[in-house]
Amino acid sequence: MRPVIVAGNWKMHTTPADAGELARTIGARTRVDGVTVRDALAGPDVAAPDGTGLAVGAQDVHHEAAGAFTGAISAPMLDGLATWVIVGHSERRRDACETDELIGRKLVAARAAGLRAILCVGEQLADRDAGRAHDIVDGQVRGCLAASDPAALGGDDGRGFTIAYEPVWAIGTGRNARGADAAEMAGAIRAALASLAFSGGGDDVPVLYGGSVASSNIDEFMAEPAIDGALVGGASLKPDEMAAIVARAGLTAAARAAA
């Protein structure tokens, strides 16, 4: 069974002190005892300190393991600091001109260092309006994974690799996709994975929805069996909102586990 995953993407917000306070408050409101960013970072097993299922992720990683790349952070440098990483976020594609090919290399570097990776894909508004959303996302998945070994991406437990479908027009706009549309795109993503020879036809790969997720709309996405959670931006900076999103996704996780 695929895990339910809720990831908060704080982007370039918070100071270290603010981040600790925010994590503590979200932790308290989701009844995760004693969770702080610092505790999570300091724990020997940062994937699940205190068995909480909470982990810390980085927002990007360099595609080389080491080298003369001033200002860049490699996957091995994140050892002990993070167990997850986002690659291919649309803000990186836009601001750092990241291509699918480069993002694919970051993915390989992240997985080689044992990081669990969330690969972001998603179409622009003009693409959706022109009926090209499916083709764009299919092309992004293929372009990012063309050079990857599907078996190496998932890792031994098959849990190393997650895809976030994030339509660019929904990010930070307050305009979210419809649940049914996100589910359809998850289907397109898994079809692309299947054609790339992913085991189980991509059925083992969690697909998250991202783009203006809030406590008021998370149920619409979690009601879709093809959607396994959310990548949350703005709302993850608001403790009550994030706690409510986690709680609601937790209900789905429990229901799926019981089914």
**Of the ranges 108-116, 148-156, 228-236, 247-255, which one interacts with ligand PGA (CB under 6 A)?**
228-236
* 210 binding ligand PGA? (CB under 6 A): yes
The reply to whether 222 sits near ligand PGA by the rule CB under 6 A is no
Cα 129 versus chain centre, distance: 25
Task: Indicate if 89 belongs to the active site.
Answer: yes
- Under the criterion CB under 6 A, does residue 231 sit at the interface with ligand PGA? yes
Give the residue at shortest CB distance from ligand PGA: 233
Identify which of residues 39 and 110 has a Cβ nearer to ligand PGA in the complex: 110
Residue of 88, 211, 229, 239 interacting with ligand PGA (CB under 6 A): 211
166 binds ligand PGA (CB under 6 A): yes
Window of 40-48, 63-71, 74-82, 204-212 that interacts with ligand PGA by CB under 6 A: 204-212
Residues 53-72 close enough to bind ligand PGA by CB under 6 A: none
Q: Is 224 annotated as catalytic?
A: no
Of 62, 63, 89, 134, which is the active-site residue?
89
CA pair distance 86, 73, nearest whole angstrom:
13
140 C-beta neighbours (distance < 10 Å), count: 24
143 in contact with ligand PGA (CB under 6 A):
no
Catalytic residue among 166, 220, 224, 241: 166
Cβ distance to ligand PGA smaller for residue 205 or 245: 245
Q: What would the DSSP string read from start to end of the chain?
A: -PPPEEEE--TT---HHHHHHHHHHHHHHTT-TT--HHHHHHSSSTTSGGG-----EES---SSSSSS-TT---TGGGTTT-SEEEES-HHHHHHS---HHHHHHHHHHHHHTT-EEEEEE---HHHHHTT-HHHHHHHHHHHHHTT--HHHHH-TTS-SEEEEE--GGGTTTS-PPPHHHHHHHHHHHHHHHHHTT-GGGGTTS-EEEESS--TTTHHHHHTSTT--EEEESGGGGSHHHHHHHHHHHHHHHHHHHH-
Site string for ligand PGA, 233-252 (x = CB under 6 A): xxx-----------------
Stretch that binds ligand PGA, among 70-78, 126-134, 144-152, 229-237 (CB under 6 A): 229-237
Interface residues with ligand PGA (CB under 6 A)? 9, 166, 171-172, 210-213, 231-235
